[in-house]
Structure 1
Amino acid sequence: MTASPPPRRHRAAVTIVAAVAVLLLIALGVWQLERRQWKLALIAQTERQLALPPVAAPGPDRWPTIGKGDAYRPVIAAGRYRRDADTYVQAVTDLGGGFWVVTPLATDAGFTLLVNRGFVPQELRGRVATPAGPQRVVGLLRLAEPRGAFLRHNDPAADRWYSRDVAAIAARRGLGVTAPYFVDASQPTQGWPRGGLTVVRFPNNHLLYAFTWFGLAALIAFMTWRARR
């Protein structure tokens, strides 16, 4: 005895659900293509930024307008490092696990600037000297990282840091008027801390994601067509 076909109402409901799923997947694919265009523009902008000559580190008059368009801009600052005020931020680099050494620079322009002087291995935490006397820092402007790291939140009270949260570090160290960004020292160094390790890399898998969503949409459409036949 042959099974009777499902009621027409049931077939119509399945078709509607499948159509909604296909449209949603196509929308996700289009969104990934738009994200790809945005990512390519960001990469091109960053490459242009890196090729520019250094400019003076932005002062208080520019701070309200600092944004993503300023990231990785080469800057230069002069001043003196504040002694005994280093902050060690956990880091993983090509040299292994360790810490970024972030030191406040009292600039000649009258404000404090946090400088990531470079990387040190685990065993050198708290054991690197802070340069004395006038300093000239050349590096890349970086935006603050207030959200901590994945599943790890900064603990200022315990002086435990997983990201370079400028405002929190400035408050913890009592730095006063501090720039809302920090600078990655770009001069390569032989000793510790090791500078010049900034990695400028933007994952760009959006085309693969788009093909995945479009492929799923095509698969659902085909399976629905076959089921209806």
Structure 2
Amino acid sequence: MLTINNLVKRHGSQEVLSKISFKAHPGRVTGFLGPNGAGKSSTLRILLGLDQATSGNALVNGVSYRELPNPLTTVGAALGGASAHRTRTGRAHLRWVAHSAGFPSSRVDEVLEMVDLSNAASMRVGKYSLGMSQRLGLATALLGDPKILILDEPVNGLDPEGIRWIRMFLRERAEAGNTVLLSSHLMGELAETVDDVVIINKGKIMSDGTLEEVMDGYFTLEEAFFALTSQNGRVEK
């Protein structure tokens, strides 16, 4: 369970997040959707202990990320690709992360297979396409076999086949009882993936509910998104 409680983040006089609250539940894929600059990355950084909130809190299974005894076995996160050194191979990057976290080296080949990157494991990361970097980031997040997966723009750079693959992969993770939170500004690619939707704009939650609830009265999720983000306050259903 991921729980965001009345989260506020200010940079000087600018309020980046304005008392936002929502939850991501086990067994479901939650889409955290909003335009660029809406506050998605700020929320995820606070959730993962990379930044500090002005007030409110972000909890993982009832505690802050920094209080988790071995966070990589609880939460797997991929924010902005693999963040791997360009001169390392994909396999070397994963081995370094696994060694640092105390995971067995055998896990490296397992996650490479899971993300269909085994054939490119010996290639230097600097030669990876954007889609391959996305898969390497996902493989890194999966090293600890976490029950919670947090992904930022997971379909960015993927071709249609890659998008279908990530959709099936995330659905399987959720159906196995895991919590999946994915952040994106791409609505069309996610409509067939998510169970629940949280729409944020200008640091405020505009809508929060099941996919069906958020789409109520609209033909598509994209239509709902643009209608809701064009308004100034929270939309109550």
Same fold (TM over 0.5): no
TM-score, normalised with respect to structure 1: 0.26
Decide which structure has the larger Cα Rg and report it: 1
TM-score by length of 2: 0.25
